[in-house]
C-alpha cells in the first residue's frame, strides 16, 4: 500500500490501469481501432491494475494477487486493460495478457477476461480467469450484464471458423474485433450479439438497460483494391470464391455494393453517381439479447457531422449536406464519439471523446450529449467540455459530480522521439480532474523486453488509463423490444402466433425485417432521393415538382468474408467482408422477378423479408428495372428469431419530408409474407377418430 497526500475528492475508490507508453499509434493499445492485439509490439508489458482509495492511498492489485513482474519481462509478464465494476461494487472484470517472448520468438498472445475480488483496503485481492470464454482469441472490453452474463468484444470469427481469422477491417485491412459477444461463464453458452465488419469499442449497460458502445462505420468499397486497380497490384487484393476454407482464390476484385468511392473516376464515368466515402465512430445501442441494434436514438450524420456529399448529381432536389445551412438543433459538429460513459448524476447524459483517427492515441476533446431513450435524434445537441490545454481520453463522471479524465498536456501528434530500442513517447497520460488535479503522484517502473528481435529498454512514468469508479449501482431492467400494434394486428388477422413464428425462425437461424413505408424519409435527409412512391401502389411522399422515384424492390446484401490481401499465392491471414447479394440458403422469400436477394415493395410502401441472423446485413431500394434509388449506409445485425420493425426504412426522426410522424400503417407486405410462410409449413397429419 502506498500513501499519498493528494487532495482530489473522489468519494469512492477508483480502479485504473497503468501501461508502459507506446509511441506508435496504429493498431496499438491506445489506438482508435485495432487496439485489441496482445502482441508485445502493440502492448508492451509492465503495467498493472491499481486502485486508489478516497484517502489517497494506492494498491497494486495485480501484484498483490501474484501477477506481473519487474525488470526483464518474461513468462509472467502482464498487461491489463478496461476494468469494469459489478453492480454490487464488490468485484470487477478486466482483460489481461500474460507472457512476453524470448529473443526471436514469435509467439501468439491473447487477451483473456479475468475477475478480481477483494477490493477493500485491508483485503487480499484474488483473481480468477473467467471459464468458458473463447480460447486463443482476444477477448476485451468485458462488463457485466443485468443478469450477470459477461458481455465483451472479441476477434473470434463470426461463425467460429479459424480459417477466417482474423477479420480484416474495411479501411486498412487490419485485424479487428468482430463484434459484441455474450457469455454465461458457468454453462459456456456463447452468443454473438452483433457482427461488426470494422469493430465495436468500449461497451457498457446504461441506466436504461441499453448496451451502449462506439462502433466504427465504414461501409464503403475496398480502398486497397481500388489502389491495386489504379496503380498496380501493390496490396495484392483478390476475392475468395466463398467463405469456406478450401475456397478458390480468384484473380478478381468484384464489388457490387455500395457505389464506388469518389477516387474511382473510371467507374463513375457515365453515371449520375457522386461516389461514396463514409468513415466515423458513432454511438450505438443494442438490447442485451442482441436485438434492436441501431445508432443511439437513431442519431446520424445529419445531427453530428458538418458536411457530407449527395449520392447523385442529376437531380437538383438532391443536395450536399452542410450543417450551417441545415437548421439543425446541434451547433457543435463532431466526427467521432469515443470512450462513452453515462453521467451517474444525470442519467441519459453521455460523455465521450471527439478525437482524430490517428496519432493521438484516441485522445482529443471531451464532449457530451443528452440521449435518454425518449429524445429524438434531431433533438440531440453536442456540448463541448472545457479543461486544461492538451488532449483528453477516458472520461469518468463520478457520482459526486466530479469529472475525471486521462489527460496529456501535449498538443502535437505523438511520435517516437527515441529509438526502437529506447522508445520515448511525447504523451504523458495521467488521470486528472478538469482543473488539473492529479489522481496519483506518478507511478514509475523500469522494464526490458524483446519485441522480439530487438531488446527494448524503457524507464519512467507509466501511463494511467481507463479509470472506473468502485461503487454499488442499481441493476437496470433489461430492455426488450415489444411487437407494436400495427404488426401485432397482422399476426392476429393471419392467425399466426408470434412466439411460434419466432421459434420457427430461430430454428433456421433467420430473422424477419419489416418496414411500414419505405417511401417515407426523414425531413433532414436530402442527400438521397426523397420524392418517392410505391410502384403501382398508393404510398407516396412527394414534396416538389421535381423527379419522382418509383420503388419496386428492396434488395438485401450480406457481409461475406471473402476479400483476401497479399496475393493469391501466399495471402495474409484473414479476410475482409464484401457486400454480396443475399444468398444464404436458409432464406426463402416469396419469388419475384426483381434483382437477386430482393423482395417486392407492397402497394402501401411496406416491405417484409426473411434475412440471415448473426451476419451483418445492408440493403437498398430499387426502381422496377433494378436501378438503386436509396442506399442504406450502415451494416445491421439481426438475431435468430428477431422480428425487427422499422417504421420507415432509411429513417424518420421527428418528422418526414411531408411533416408527418412515423408511419403507423399495418404493413401489407407482412401479411403477404405470413401467408407465404404458412403455405410453406409442413402439412399436419389429420387425427383419426377413435370409436368408443
Count CB neighbours of 450 within 10 A. Answer: 18
pLDDT tens for residues 237-249? 999 999 999 999 9
Query: What is the pLDDT at residue 651?
Result: 75
Cell of 21: 507508453
Rounded to whole angstroms, how far apart are CA atoms 393 and 113?
23
Q: Is the pLDDT of residue 430 over 60?
A: yes
pLDDT confidence tier of residue 688, bands split at 50, 70 and 90: low
Three-class secondary structure of residue 646 per DSSP: strand
Cell of 196: 461488426
Rounded to whole angstroms, how far apart are CA atoms 540 and 545?
13
pLDDT confidence tier of residue 7, bands split at 50, 70 and 90: low
Q: What are the respective helix, strand and coil percentages of the chain, to the nearest 5? A: 10, 30, 60
Query: What is the pLDDT at residue 6?
Result: 54
pLDDT confidence tier of residue 544, bands split at 50, 70 and 90: confident
pLDDT tens for residues 660-679? 888 899 999 999 999 999 99
- Sequence-distant (≥ 6) Cβ neighbours of residue 160 within 8 angstroms: none
- Which of 56-70, 314-328, 421-435 shows the lowest mean pLDDT across its residues? 314-328
Vertex 219: Cα angle to 163 and 245 (nearest 5): 15
Helix (H) or strand (E) holding 447: strand 444-450
Q: Is the pLDDT of residue 3 over 60?
A: no
Query: What is the pLDDT at residue 685?
Result: 61
Q: Is the pLDDT of residue 343 over 50?
A: yes
Query: What is the pLDDT at residue 692?
Result: 44
Query: What is the pLDDT at residue 650?
Result: 66
Q: What is the pLDDT of the chain when averaged over all its residues? A: 95
What residue has cell string 457498457? Answer: 204
Query: What is the pLDDT at residue 159?
Result: 96
Query: What is the pLDDT at residue 648?
Result: 77
Rounded to whole angstroms, how far apart are CA atoms 37 and 534?
48
3-state secondary structure 237-272: CEEECCCCCCCCEECCCCCCCCCCCCCCHHHHCCCC
Cell of 311: 449520392
Query: What is the pLDDT at residue 684?
Result: 64
What are the CA-CA distances from residue 14 to residues 382, 384, 401 (Å)? 27, 25, 14
pLDDT confidence tier of residue 1, bands split at 50, 70 and 90: low
Average pLDDT over residues 102-117: 96
Three-class secondary structure of residue 306 per DSSP: coil
Helix axes 485-493, 498-507, angle to 10 degrees: 90
pLDDT tens for residues 592-620? 999 999 999 999 999 999 999 999 999 99
pLDDT confidence tier of residue 197, bands split at 50, 70 and 90: very high
Query: What is the pLDDT at residue 130?
Result: 98
pLDDT tens for residues 206-253? 999 999 999 999 999 999 999 999 998 899 999 999 999 999 999 999
pLDDT confidence tier of residue 546, bands split at 50, 70 and 90: confident
Nearest in space to 80 (alpha carbons), one of 98, 92, 64: 98
pLDDT confidence tier of residue 162, bands split at 50, 70 and 90: very high
Amino acid at each position: 500500500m502506498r500513501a499519498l497526500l493528494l487532495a482530489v475528492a473522489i468519494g469512492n475508490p477508483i480502479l485504473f490501469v497503468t501501461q508502459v507508453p507506446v509511441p506508435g499509434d496504429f493498431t496499438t493499445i491506445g489506438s482508435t481501432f485495432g487496439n485489441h492485439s496482445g502482441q508485445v509490439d502493440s502492448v508492451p508489458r509492465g503495467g498493472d491494475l491499481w486502485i486508489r482509495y478516497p484517502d489517497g492511498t494506492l494498491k497494486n492489485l495485480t501484484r498483490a494477487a501474484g501477477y506481473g513482474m519487474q525488470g526483464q519481462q518474461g513468462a509472467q509478464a502482464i498487461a491489463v486493460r478496461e476494468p469494469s465494476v459489478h453492480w454490487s461494487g464488490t468485484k470487477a472484470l478486466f482483460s489481461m495478457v500474460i507472457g512476453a517472448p524470448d529473443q526471436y520468438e514469435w509467439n501468439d498472445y491473447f487477451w483473456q477476461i479475468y475477475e478480481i475480488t477483494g477490493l477493500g483496503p485491508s483485503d487480499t485481492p484474488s483473481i480468477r480467469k473467467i471459464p468458458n470464454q473463447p480460447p486463443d482469441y482476444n477477448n476485451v472490453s468485458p462488463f457485466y450484464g443485468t443478469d450477470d452474463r459477461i458481455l465483451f468484444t472479441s476477434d473470434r470469427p463470426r461463425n467460429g471458423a479459424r480459417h477466417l481469422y482474423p477479420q480484416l477491417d474495411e479501411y486498412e485491412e487490419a485485424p479487428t474485433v468482430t463484434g459484441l459477444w455474450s457469455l454465461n461463464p458457468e454453462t459456456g453458452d456463447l452468443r454473438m450479439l452483433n457482427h461488426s465488419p470494422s469493430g465495436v469499442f468500449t461497451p457498457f449497460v446504461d441506466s436504461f438497460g441499453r448496451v451502449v458502445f462506439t462502433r466504427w462505420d465504414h461501409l464503403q468499397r475496398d480502398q486497397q483494391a481500388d489502389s491495386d486497380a489504379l496503380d498496380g497490384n501493390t496490396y495484392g487484393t483478390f476475392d475468395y470464391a466463398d467463405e469456406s476454407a478450401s475456397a478458390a482464390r480468384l484473380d478478381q476484385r468484384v464489388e457490387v455494393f455500395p457505389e464506388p468511392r469518389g477516387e474511382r473516376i473510371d467507374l463513375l464515368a457515365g453515371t449520375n453517381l457522386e461516389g461514396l466515402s463514409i468513415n466515423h465512430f458513432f454511438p450505438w445501442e443494442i438490447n442485451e439479447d442482441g436485438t434492436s441494434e441501431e445508432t443511439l436514438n437513431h442519431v446520424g450524420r445529419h445531427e453530428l457531422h458538418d458536411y457530407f456529399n449527395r449520392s447523385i448529381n442529376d437531380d437538383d432536389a438532391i443536395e450536399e449536406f452542410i450543417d450551417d445551412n441545415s437548421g439543425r438543433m446541434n451547433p457543435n459538429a463532431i466526427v467521432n464519439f469515443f470512450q462513452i460513459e453515462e453521467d451517474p448524476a444525470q442519467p441519459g447524459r453521455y460523455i465521450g471523446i471527439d478525437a482524430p483517427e490517428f496519432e493521438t492515441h484516441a485522445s482529443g476533446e471531451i464532449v457530451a450529449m443528452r440521449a435518454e431513450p425518449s429524445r429524438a435524434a434531431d433533438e440531440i445537441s453536442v456540448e463541448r467540455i472545457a479543461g486544461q490545454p492538451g488532449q483528453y481520453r477516458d472520461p469518468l463522471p463520478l457520482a459526486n459530480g466530479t469529472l475525471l479524465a486521462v489527460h496529456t498536456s501535449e498538443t502535437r501528434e505523438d511520435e517516437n522521439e527515441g529509438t526502437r530500442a529506447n522508445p520515448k513517447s511525447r504523451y504523458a497520460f495521467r488521470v486528472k480532474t478538469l482543473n488539473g488535479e492529479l489522481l496519483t503522484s506518478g507511478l514509475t517502473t523500469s522494464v526490458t523486453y524483446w519485441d522480439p528481435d530487438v531488446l527494448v529498454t524503457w524507464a519512467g512514468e507509466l501511463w494511467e488509463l481507463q479509470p472506473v469508479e468502485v461503487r454499488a449501482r442499481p441493476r437496470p431492467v433489461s430492455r426488450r423490444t415489444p411487437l407494436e400494434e400495427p404488426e401485432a394486428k397482422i399476426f392476429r388477422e393471419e392467425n399466426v402466433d408470434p412466439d411460434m413464428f419466432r421459434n420457427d425462425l430461430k430454428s433456421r437461424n433467420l430473422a424477419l425485417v419489416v418496414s411500414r413505408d419505405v417511401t417515407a424519409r426523414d425531413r433532414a435527409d436530402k442527400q438521397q432521393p426523397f420524392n418517392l412512391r410505391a410502384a403501382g401502389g398508393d404510398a407516396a411522399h412527394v414534396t416538389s415538382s421535381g423527379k419522382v422515384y418509383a420503388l419496386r424492390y428492396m434488395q438485401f446484401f450480406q457481409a461475406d468474408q471473402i476479400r483476401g490481401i497479399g496475393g493469391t499465392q501466399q495471402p495474409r491471414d484473414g479476410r475482409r467482408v464484401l457486400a454480396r447479394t443475399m444468398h444464404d440458403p436458409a432464406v426463402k422469400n416469396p419469388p419475384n422477378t426483381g434483382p437477386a436477394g430482393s423482395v417486392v415493395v407492397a402497394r402501401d410502401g411496406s416491405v417484409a423479408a426473411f434475412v440471415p441472423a448473426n451476419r451483418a446485413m445492408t440493403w437498398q431500394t430499387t426502381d422496377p428495372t433494378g436501378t438503386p434509388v436509396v442506399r442504406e449506409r450502415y451494416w445491421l445485425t439481426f438475431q435468430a428469431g428477431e422480428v425487427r420493425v422499422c417504421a420507415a426504412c432509411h429513417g424518420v426522426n421527428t418528422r418526414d419530408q411531408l411533416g408527418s410522424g412515423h408511419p403507423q400503417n399495418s404493413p401489407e407486405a407482412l401479411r403477404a409474407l405470413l401467408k407465404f410462410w404458412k403455405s410453406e409449413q409442413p402439412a399436419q397429419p389429420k387425427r383419426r377418430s377413435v370409436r368408443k
